[in-house]
Copies of this chain bind each other. A is one copy, B any other.
């Protein structure tokens, strides 16, 4: 009989104890072995992937979804590189974060420990199976993976290779557990597994996130929207502002750290807006602006409140003019999703106020929001970008998959 989702998670939890006490050398060896297996078994993976692709076409999946689903030799290579890059990162587990001695002689220290059992719920991309597993294993966790129906054949074989790599290194296979069901009920069972799963990280669209936050009984880390703004202050260097705005909108519009709204100081609107809108429009960007913007740029459509609230993830930009920094900050407070917010300015006071008063995972001065990324920040691979404030905020690396344990050493002290 098929095991229930809860039974599978229970087995992963049992495996998490072995992972937690596994040394860095063994964990690295698992990652090395998994990378080699992916290379050796490339044909099997691609064959499984073809089954998924055929089914996806039969079910009429969209072009973008099919592209995300598709594995190629190049993508397999990049999965291997992902495993090896995580292998090369320092192991966060076991390090002493801080320590002190109490007046009564007790030695207190705070030690970094794995979270335990981490759930990842994701859509389409089969590479997440190995990317997420690598990060969880290296940080000493067991991982429970729940991928999409569309990728089930690809995910199954990748998970099997990870199981083999664990087993060859004397670790329990259940440390990587792929849920063999892809119905909604399996998601609900996962996020209700209090006491078994230490956290769940959803990686997917808004619909998935909504279902999960509505049903979650276990702690979740939200990798949320990026409704990112750039405010071009009156003192901004125009060339710098132009380069950054174009970079943040056009270089890769479909990602969460791309700019969605440009805010411009009214004192420079008549010079800056025609120039930047013309340049953006020439690069295929559709402009939705307020009245001032529309009066300065003819191809502008009047923006609605809804537009300012939307993460377009596309060659589309809303533009807003403001009288001063305060208005810029309050527009951001109203519409920001708390991801990445930037100011372009030459004024020290404006820069400082923006940094202090804008509440986001990342605030940037005179640079592009596109840099807000674990790889760019030098954290190595990232498991996501947290837009919540608890536990982790911004790009999350290995360290964010750990917790802290107080360790107290005494020699007979009792409390008076």
Contact = CB atoms under 8 A, between A and B. Distances in A.
A293 to B, nearest CB: 23
A240 B412 contact: yes
A406 interface: yes
B244 A389 contact: no
Nearest to A412: B240
A406 B377 contact: yes
A371 B413 contact: yes
Interface in A372-400: 372, 376-378, 388-391, 393-395
A409 B367 CA distance: 7
A236 to B, nearest CB: 10
Contacts of A198: 388-390
A412 B346 CA distance: 11
A407 B353 CA distance: 12
A190 interface: no
A217 B221 contact: no
Contact of A360 (B214, B333, B393, B405): B405
Interface in A111-156: 113, 115-116
A20 interface: yes
Given A368-B414, A371-B415, A394 B389 contact: no
Contact of A408 (B113, B194, B371, B412): B371
A337 to B, nearest CB: 9
A259 B403 CA distance: 24
Nearest to A115: B389
A413 B367 contact: yes
A251 interface: yes
A352 B247 CA distance: 52
A237 B411 CA distance: 10
Given A377-B102, A378-B102, A409 B368 contact: no
Q: Interface size class for chain A? A: 35 or more
A116 B395 CA distance: 20
The oligomer's copy count stands at: 2
A189 interface: no
Given A106-B371, A108-B377, A413-B367, A357 B390 contact: no
Interface string A88-116: 00000000000010100010100001011
Interface string A334-361: 0000000000000000000001110111
Given A219-B219, A371-B106, A414-B243, A393 B405 contact: yes
B390 A390 contact: yes
Contacts of A368: 413-415
Contact of A365 (B360, B404, B410): B410
A360 B198 CA distance: 12
A378 B100 contact: yes
A406 to B, nearest CB: 4
Interface in A193-214: 194, 198-199, 213-214
A37 interface: no
B357 A17 contact: yes
22 contacts: A20-B356, A100-B378, A113-B359, A116-B389, A194-B213, A221-B390, A243-B412, A247-B415, A355-B407, A362-B405, A363-B408, A365-B409, A366-B411, A366-B413, A367-B409, A367-B412, A368-B414, A370-B415, A391-B391, A393-B404, A393-B405, A394-B404
Given A244-B412, A390-B390, A394-B404, 17 more contacts: A17-B359, A219-B388, A243-B414, A244-B414, A359-B405, A362-B405, A362-B407, A363-B406, A363-B407, A364-B409, A364-B410, A365-B410, A366-B409, A366-B411, A390-B391, A390-B403, A393-B405
